[in-house]
Chain A
Amino acid sequence: MKTYMSISLSCVFFFALIILSCVPPAMAQDKQAPKDSLVITLNMDAVYNRPFLQSGKSPIAIGGYVEVNSDYAVTDGITEGLSFHMQRLTLFMSSTIKQRIKFLTEIEFEDGTEEINIEFAALDFELHPLLVIRGGIIMIPIGAFNQNHDGPKWEFVERPLSATTIIPSTWSNVGFGLHGKSYQGDWVWGYEAYLTNGFDDTIIDNEHGKTWLPATKKNPSRFEESFNGTPMSTLKTAIRHRKIGEIGLSWMGVVYNKFKDDGIIVDDKRRVDVVVVDYNKTIKQKLYITGEWAWTFIDVPDTYSQQYGRRQTGGYTDVVFTFLKKRMLGWDNARLNASVRGEYVDYNMDEFNETGSKIHDEVWGINTSLSFRPSLQTVIRVNYGYYWETDLLGNPPSKTARIQFGFSSYF
């Protein structure tokens, strides 16, 4: 078993090594990679800040990205072997219908065709830069990752744990709201405010056996009607200075359970609220730091199982260092990046009623990455991560090592 594990790990890495270490003279003439935008943008702009192609006089611009990777993980000496994963194929379409009226949609095929989701399909009416009305399927502006999740932008195959299990990225829902921005010198300030459909009671009644906000995404009718007729409110504000960086604060909250059926009260109203702080900063175009931290508060009935936590927290920080930027393999301004991600999630911050001791159910992780970017739109990356997962009771953690190799690119 050990020999097999070593061979498999070596094969994956060897494949990555060949690609990453070959730096021969130019093989092809390519156009200069797009320059970084001079306009100050916020995370909330990510949905439009993507490469689109427009053909002739067609009003439609299209784009998309693809993510594919290989995965080899070992948990306490046990592995399921090497597998390949068609993680995502995402298509964007946008159109400026008339001056200050825009439409954009993002359709995602996840895990082949296992999940097909409309992640964004909204119309923007700009009355003023500070007052844009948005309606449709909206990517909820909670934290930064949810809106800025495109694979090619990240040095890691795996999305941050807190962004996918505490915040259920990619988290979209249907509704209406407002957003806007204001520029002042090197500063930009933005806000978003929406009313949308919200969560359902699967967040505390699911096969994961823990409070699990992503469970609500399996509800196929969430784009059709609210689970309980109570709209979810989301507020986000963010401020950025060209040199200092960006910080954002966001909140979403809603009653998540069905408290009324056929006009008859069948349960108490119970809320879920999520607060997130996000931040990012670029230093001399060489060092990029980004991260977010989330806190979740869920009203779980006292008489239900304590394994469903009333409070959760989690976050991550990515540090990306560009240690080589030059013409490589014929690509101008190609980059080699070394990155590290530290992350933590605590799915249950409560204490046992019976003993008063802490409920654990937490994961620590550290992930490293070596990535090659022929352009800003494409990344070839190899990741190695190590995770410690502690169960509810706080027994010795299970340990998982994972190596992943993958491509992701806008097209």
Chain B
Amino acid sequence: MARLIQNLNVLLILTTLSGMLSCNFIAPGPIAENETLDGPIEGLTLEQNALFVAGDEAFSATFTSKTGLGPTFVATSCGSCHTADGKGHPFTTLVRFGQADTTGNIFLTRGGPQLQNRAIPGHTPEQIPDGATSAKFTPPAVTGLGFLAALTDEQILANADPNDSDGDGISGRPNYIDPPDFFQPQWFHQPRAGKIIGRFGKKAAAVSLLHQTVNAYNEDMGITSDFRMEDPINYAVANQSTDMVADPEVSAAVVQNVVFYIRTLKVPVRRNERNPEVIRGQQFFSELKCVACHLPEWKTPESDIGVLSYQTFYPYTDLLLHDMGESLDDGYTEGIALTSEWRTPPLWGLGLSKDAQGGEYFLLHDGRAGSIEEAILFHGGEADKSRQLFTQLTNEEKEALIRFLESL
């Protein structure tokens, strides 16, 4: 009898284990497409998929002092600022300083425009020089940026109204930027006096994803590349780089792979878009004239990456600068933007922000808003009318609007 029980025990354990392993429930399933920002655009070729993977690996790679990190830096990898390709956290929020008006940054020879607030052991982080104004910038989500990069300047300019000719109180204008030496204009660029329309960054100070990526490698991580060969200098230590790793610390190929990765990240996929409350919230979004800046729909022209061509997408931005009023004026700016002007941030992926920010919202350019409602209430300047209309909504109506924004 005892022997029988023993054998039954064995059989029971083996059967249970076998059953567990044969079923899918023991292995975690994939995360739903609309619950994650990560992943490539559908329809890439096999070769493009391989490039995407190479870029993803480079995006995640952590730099060390031996691979070129610093000596002063903000973050050790692209992925540490853009966790899961989403918005950043106060932990990796940048500080930029030195430009208080449209005449340019007068602190470039004293470490501007970006503060490297950390340093590898044995080195000293940078300090903001006396007299320099500054602003904090929370890293943005990086998904869908290839679609925004594919748009023509003509499309962006079509929505500009710098003198508010239509009298609606909204006067978006592009930020014109001196491009870096390595920038090569494409057919869709319309230079003006040698300057190019900026599309990326809180002040639209980066003219292309390559420009943004090269700067991020250099100013966020202290990594030199074929495109930018000098490490950040901490002028409080010496008037020269104190990095001991041979340059470039990453090759042009690595940078280009990362650019390809960012260009081919999918757009955020909506959730609950058919929910009646979400639909109602979308109506309020239009009625409050939020769409005047957070322009919902765009269509790409022909692109060198086939799957980016002729695609309709919904980023909820016009890529233009708008005056956001005193409460969002930090006294710092870039390009020809005023200190109170900010580029309209895309709202797509807003509902997934918390899953990249540690379960909390850190919204607006510096993460000062802890909720969507708080972010709306910080709107001023050109958005003041919309803010006032928002405050007149009932709680249920506000909730519907927020549900809509969270569905993006």
Point out residues on A near B: beta carbons under 8 Å: 2, 5-6, 9-10, 12-14, 17, 20-21, 23, 74-79, 201-202, 204-209, 257, 266-267, 270, 301, 303-307, 323-324, 326, 336, 338, 352, 354-355, 357, 360, 368, 370, 382, 384, 386, 391-396, 399-401, 403
Contacts and interface: CB of A to CB of B under 8 A. Distances in A.
Contacts of B84: 395
Size category, B interface = 35 or more
Contacts of B11: 21
**7 nearest interchain CB pairs?**
A77-B30, A393-B358, A399-B28, A354-B90, A209-B62, A74-B27, A401-B27
11 contacts: A5-B27, A17-B14, A204-B121, A205-B120, A209-B76, A324-B9, A352-B91, A355-B89, A382-B17, A396-B355, A403-B21
A255 to B, nearest CB: 13
Given A301-B119, A370-B17, 7 more contacts: A76-B29, A207-B61, A301-B121, A304-B119, A324-B10, A393-B358, A396-B355
A338 B17 CA distance: 11
B13 interface: yes
A69 to B, nearest CB: 16
A77 B29 CA distance: 4
A14 to B, nearest CB: 8
B305 interface: no
A354 B64 contact: no
Contact of B14 (A10, A21, A204, A355): A21
B28 to A, nearest CB: 4
B65 interface: yes
Given A305-B76, A382-B17, A21 B10 contact: yes
Contacts of B26: 9, 384, 386, 401
A307 B21 contact: no
Interface string B219-233: 000000000000000
Given A301-B121, A303-B124, A304-B121, A6 B22 contact: yes
Interface in B80-94: 80, 83-84, 89-91, 93
B77 interface: yes
B27 to A, nearest CB: 4
A409 B218 CA distance: 51
B71 to A, nearest CB: 11
B385 interface: no
B221 to A, nearest CB: 11
Given A74-B28, A207-B62, A401-B27, A323 B9 contact: yes
Interface string B68-80: 0100010111001
B6 A2 contact: no
Contacts of B76: 209, 305, 307
Q: Which of A9, A205, A323 has the most CB of B within 10 A?
A: A205
Given A76-B30, A77-B28, A395 B358 contact: yes
B19 to A, nearest CB: 10
B91 A6 contact: no
Contacts of B355: 395-396
A205 B356 contact: no
A393 B83 contact: yes
A357 B357 CA distance: 12
B10 A336 contact: yes
B14 A393 contact: no
B238 to A, nearest CB: 15
A204 to B, nearest CB: 7
A357 to B, nearest CB: 7
A306 B355 CA distance: 20
Nearest to A12: B21
B125 A9 contact: no
Contact of A307 (B80, B122, B356): B80
Interface in B135-166: none
B122 A395 contact: no
A6 B90 contact: no
B76 to A, nearest CB: 6
Nearest to B88: A393
B121 A201 contact: yes
Interface string B13-48: 110011011111011111100000000000000000
B83 A6 contact: no
A356 to B, nearest CB: 10
Contacts of B66: 205
Contact of B359 (A304, A382, A395): A395
Contacts of B61: 207
A370 B14 contact: yes
A270 B124 CA distance: 16
A300 B27 CA distance: 38
A258 B93 CA distance: 30
B118 A393 contact: no
A368 B20 CA distance: 12
B24 A2 contact: yes
A5 B124 contact: no
Given A205-B66, A384-B26, A305 B9 contact: no
Contact of B64 (A207, A386, A394): A207
A324 B5 CA distance: 10
A309 to B, nearest CB: 13
B265 to A, nearest CB: 17
Contacts of A74: 27-28
Interface string B122-133: 101100000000
Nearest to A202: B64
A384 B20 contact: yes
Contact of B122 (A12, A206, A266): A266
Contacts of B83: 391-393, 395
Given A77-B31, A266-B122, A370-B17, A209 B77 contact: yes
A305 B75 CA distance: 7
B31 A76 contact: yes
B28 A76 contact: yes
Nearest to A326: B6
A205 B122 contact: no
Nearest to A399: B28
Nearest to A13: B21
Contact of A354 (B18, B24, B30, B91): B91
Contacts of B73: 305
Contacts of B69: 205
A266 B357 CA distance: 37
Nearest to A5: B27
Nearest to A266: B122
B24 A5 contact: yes
B64 A10 contact: no
A306 B73 CA distance: 12
